[in-house]
Amino acid sequence: MAENLTTTVSSKTKEVLISRDRPCVIIGERINPTGRKKLAATLNEGNFDIVRRDAVAQVEAGAKILDVNVGVPGADEPALLTQAIKAVCEVTDVPLCIDTADLQALEAALKIYDGKALINSVNGEEARLESVLLLVKEYGAAVIGLCMDDDGIPPTAEARFAVARKIIERAGKLGIPAEDVVIDPLALTLGADHHAGKIALDAIEMIVAEFGVNITMGVSNISFGMPDRNAINAAFIVMTIHAGLTCPIINPLHKEVATAILAADLSMGRDEWGARWIKAYRQRLKAAG
């Protein structure tokens, strides 16, 4: 069993440590125009009011890192992404996860970001792997590595483990330490394959045992197309945390899932005297009146 590694990300004033020895770190996913027509429209107008509101709301709901994605078709993404990052930093000081497939936008964002960013993401595709890792190295960032390659998303846990190994080893050759690589084994929907959850869980356990790296995942993907999605997400996230997940990408405003994370931390001995659970419970009672 590999040693549990600690990934550090930071803003100008705040540092966040990600490790299996610490409580789960929520990465807030809401600053993303995919499926959000109103947000996409306001971004196209250069209006960042929704971005600011989403940033504040997610931090208040427990997010420790915010994912920032402005992938609007036809937009000047380098300009838009830097503006969005500045808007978020106006209202909160949590570290950011810079989420873009555009290398120019990524470098533009890294140039203006004051801190150690988390980059979302790199994968095993040869055309992208080294170009992103070179930016990770140049700007001293941490990076999410997706378990997919030129053949797509592997259908087995073993094949996803192999992609994780490739990303970690290639990063190491460039001088990027394993603790700065956060692996995403990828959750696919149970609606298309009822084995999808088990494959993701097995991949997490294999990667953690071999490398000790931190694990992220867009957990809500598991329930896409299924009814009562929050119930599925809440159950699945508890299992992934037990398997080794440390920093899920979720919507922290979904109380059922956020509460499940707190319960998992408490159950795994990461909440001393249950202080965080009790505080959150009292907050829920107060909000309910």
Q: What is the pLDDT of residues 167-196, one digit of tens each?
A: 999 999 999 999 999 999 999 999 999 999
**What was the pLDDT predicted at 287?**
87
Residue 144 pLDDT > 90: yes
Query: What percentage of the chain has pLDDT greater than the value 70?
Result: 100
- Strand 7-10 relative to strand 15-18, pairing: antiparallel
pLDDT average, residue stretch 154-173 = 98
Q: Please tell me whether the peptide bond between 121 and the residue prior to it is cis, using omega within 30 degrees of 0.
A: yes
Quick one: pLDDT band at residue 288, thresholds 50, 70, 90?
confident
**DSSP states of 47-66 as a string?**
--HHHHHHHHHHHHTT-SEE
- Strand 249-250 relative to strand 27-31, pairing: parallel
CATH number at 14-280: 3.20.20.20
Domain locations in the chain as residue ranges: 14-280
Helix runs in the chain, H state only: 37-44, 49-60, 77-91, 103-112, 126-139, 157-173, 196-211, 229-243, 255-267, 275-288
Residue at 96: amino acid letter: L
Q: What is the pLDDT of residues 81-115, one digit of tens each?
A: 999 999 999 999 999 999 999 999 999 999 999 99
